[in-house]
């Protein structure tokens, strides 16, 4: 049996490990365009700030691929021929087509950073953060760059801002709206992030959009905004979203929407072809529709399930409650479940900040404290906690993740949670500790 996996990211590697756990003799080939192979994409932000050396980005060594008998091949997938179970590709850097046959194929080639169509976006000094090669380019550009402009409203944009700050670059940050990441954070949380950026010398421009990137001698010299203002600069970072890579699937007749459509077993609409990770649009049993989920942990789980099914097992992918640990303006932030800004009559949002300091949970794992800012917001349903944001001290992250993901009935403490002025940090810790005690007795 020959398994071909297109893409060397989290989903592809997890699929390969999963396949090998069930099929010790099958041939596993991972084909990737990325010359660096498999590395931690979430770690790129920490590499850019100098907190991680490059070697720390690589969780797999050659010995790991050898142990699992996985062949990592550099090549560009061009077309899939489902009728003949064939993949047409460019081997290495050679623009000469080659063909390889497969028994099972997984498309796990991820998503690409959306390119800007702003005039001047092709000038030297304009960059994105899609892969390790981009990170190398950014570090090279910041050795000479003095003033940078960053465009975008999510996590990657903030990673670019922090990368420039770390390299002593003066940063102008453009936001289309009136605050940072307003579809996830509430107004207070946005302002916490913005104030911390200002403390690092960042100038934030609200309700601002690029009209043109101007240059001299093919290098960035300034940006012109739609309101007519002009910002002299020599670096421009673009982080305006990602787009699942669906071209390969579409050309093979596979059904696609925003991403590659798959069923609960990660199968596409073409037999023996699967998809997982950022390129896949998977079924969400809560929303009852297919969604794209661009996070590391779901990508690994999708890859694991796809790999099992490729070996002939029947395994269902169940989309877990979203869980993301990130860093916003050097503030560790955990986002769990439903925390968006949309209105829902069944949800009550409550928040606590620096006025409350919660005591340490005795067995909290990876708890972080001593932050100068601590903030928690809970989304409280009739019987369950549906979401939470934890900024700063992470003592409550693990208990909240367990309470939310396991849909633990909070009816016994709901009224207390909603009571004015209650120290809900201690309330949650006590509630969770009692649950643990009951589970072992």
CATH code for the domain in which residue 170 is found: 3.50.50.60
297 and 350 part of one domain: no
DSSP string, 273-296: EEE-GGGEEEEETTTTEEEE---H
Distances (CA, A) of 191 to 180, 355, 375, 412: 8, 17, 12, 33
Count of domains in the chain? 3
**Tokens representing residue 326 in the block:** 């990130």
159 located within any domain: yes
Q: Is 260 exposed, middle or buried (0-12, 13-18, 19+ CB in 10 A)?
A: buried
With vertex at residue 398, the alpha carbon angle to CA 278 and CA 58, rounded to the nearest 5 degrees, is 45
Q: Whole-angstrom Cα distance, residue 336 to residue 405?
A: 9
* End-of-domain residue from the set 208, 240, 272: 240
Segment 302-336, tens digit of pLDDT: 999 999 999 999 999 998 888 899 999 989 999 99
Q: What SS3 class is residue 203?
A: strand
Gap between the Cα atoms of 356 and 423, Å rounded: 7
Measure CA of the first residue to CA of the last residue in the chain; give whole Å: 48
- What is the tens place of the pLDDT at every residue in 15-58? 999 999 999 999 999 999 999 999 999 999 999 999 999 999 99
Same domain (yes/no): 351, 399 = yes
Please give the backbone phi and psi of residue 35, each rounded to the nearest 5 degrees, phi first.
-60, -20
User: Taking a C-beta distance cutoff of 8 angstroms, is the pair 200, 90 a contact?
Assistant: no
Pairing state of beta strands 280-284 and 260-261? parallel
In this structure, is residue 44 part of a structural domain?
Answer: yes
Domain that holds residue 150: 126-240
How long a stretch of residues is the chain? 441
Same domain? For 274 and 174 the reply is no
Q: Are 275 and 249 in contact (CB under 8 A)?
A: yes
Residue 176: pLDDT band with limits 50, 70, 90? very high
Q: Do 67 and 161 reside in the same domain of the chain?
A: no
Q: Same domain, yes or no, for 235 and 247?
A: no
Compute the distance between CA of residue 364 and CA of residue 399 in angstroms, rounded to an integer: 8
DSSP code, position 56: G
Give me the half-sphere count of Cα atoms (radius 13 Å) on the Cβ side of residue 122.
2
pLDDT reading at 342 higher than 60: no
Q: Nearest CA to 57 among 36, 31, 33?
A: 36
The yes-or-no verdict on residue 439 having pLDDT over 90 is: no
The span from the CA of 198 to the CA of 177, in Å, is 17
The Cα–Cα gap between 116 and 101 comes to: 37
Residue 440: predicted pLDDT? 74
Say whether both 273 and 235 belong to one domain.
no
| Confidence at residue 437, expressed as pLDDT on a 0 to 100 scale | 80
| 156 and 252 belong to one structural domain | no
Residues 188 and 230 in one domain: yes
Please enumerate in sequence order all residues whose Cβ is within 8 A of that of 268, keeping only pairs 6 or more positions apart, or say none: 107, 249, 254, 255, 260, 261, 262, 274, 275
Question: Per mean pLDDT, which range of 29-33, 182-186, 411-415 is the poorest?
Answer: 182-186
Same domain? 341 vs 434: yes
- Across the range 216-237, mean pLDDT stands at 97
Distance, in Å, from the CA atom of 102 to the CA atom of 29, rounded to the nearest integer, reads: 10
Residue 119 lies in a domain: no
Of 310, 340, 367, which closes a domain? 310
Q: To which residue do tokens 């002009």 refer?
A: 230
Looking at the domain assignment, is residue 236 inside a domain?
A: yes
380 within a domain of the structure (yes/no) = yes
Residues 101 and 249 in one domain: yes
For residue 163, is it within any domain? yes
Instruction: Give the DSSP letter of residue 301.
Output: H
- Among 240, 260, 294, give the residue marking a domain's end: 240
CATH code of the domain containing 405? 3.30.390.30
20 within 8 A of 70, measured Cβ to Cβ: yes
Q: Are residues 217 and 189 in the same domain?
A: yes
Residue owning tokens 């950073």? 113
Please check the confidence at residue 245 and state whether its pLDDT lies above 60: yes
Name the pTM for this structure.
0.91
The answer to whether residue 361 is domain-embedded is yes
- In terms of domains, do 229 and 296 share one? no
- In a domain? residue 316: no
Contact 9, 299 (CB under 8 A): yes
């Amino acid at each position: 049996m020959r398994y071909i996996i297109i893409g060397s990211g989290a989903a592809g590697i997890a699929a390969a490990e999963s396949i090998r756990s069930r099929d010790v003799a099958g041939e596993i080939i991972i084909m990737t365009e990325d010359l660096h192979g498999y590395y931690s994409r979430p770690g790129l932000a920490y590499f850019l700030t100098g907190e991680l050396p490059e070697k720390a980005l690589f969780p797999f060594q050659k010995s790991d691929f050898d142990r699992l008998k996985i062949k990592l091949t550099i090549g560009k997938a061009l077309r899939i021929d489902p009728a003949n179970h064939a993949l047409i590709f460019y081997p290495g850097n050679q623009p000469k087509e080659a063909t390889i046959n497969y028994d099972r194929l997984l498309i796990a080639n991820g998503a690409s950073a959306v390119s800007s169509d702003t005039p001047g976006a092709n000038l030297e000094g304009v960059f994105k953060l899609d892969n390790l090669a981009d990170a190398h380019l950014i570090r090279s550009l910041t050795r000479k760059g003095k003033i940078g402009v960053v465009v975008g409203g999510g996590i990657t944009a903030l990673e670019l801002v922090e990368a420039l700050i770390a390299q002593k670059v003066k940063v102008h940050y453009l936001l289309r709206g009136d605050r940072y990441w307003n579809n996830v954070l509430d107004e207070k949380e946005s302002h916490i992030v913005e104030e911390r950026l200002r403390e690092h010398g960042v100038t934030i421009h609200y309700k601002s959009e690029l009209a043109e990137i101007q240059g001299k001698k093919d290098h960035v010299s300034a940006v012109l905004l739609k309101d007519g203002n002009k910002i002299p600069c020599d670096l421009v970072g673009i982080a305006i979203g990602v787009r699942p890579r669906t071209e390969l699937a579409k050309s093979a007749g596979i059904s696609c929407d925003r991403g590659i459509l798959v069923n609960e077993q990660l199968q596409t609409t073409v037999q023996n072809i699967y998809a997982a990770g950022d390129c896949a649009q998977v079924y969400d049993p809560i929303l009852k529709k297919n969604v794209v989920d661009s996070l590391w942990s779901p990508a690994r789980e999708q890859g694991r399930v796809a790999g099992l099914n490729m070996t002939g097992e029947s395994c269902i992918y169940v989309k877990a409650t979203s869980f993301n640990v990130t860093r916003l303006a050097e503030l560790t932030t955990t986002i769990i479940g439903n925390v968006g800004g949309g209105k829902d009559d069944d949800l009550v949002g409550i928040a606590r900040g620096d006025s409350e300091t919660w005591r340490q949970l005795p067995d909290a794992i990876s708890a972080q404290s001593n932050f100068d800012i601590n903030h928690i917001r809970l989304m409280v349903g009739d019987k369950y906690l549906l979401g939470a944001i934890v900024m700063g001290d992470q003592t409550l992250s693990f208990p909240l993740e367990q309470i939310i993901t396991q849909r633990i009935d909070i009816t016994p403490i709901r009224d207390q949670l909603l009571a004015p002025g209650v120290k809900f940090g201690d309330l949650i810790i006590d509630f969770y500790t009692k649950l643990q005690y009951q589970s072992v007795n």
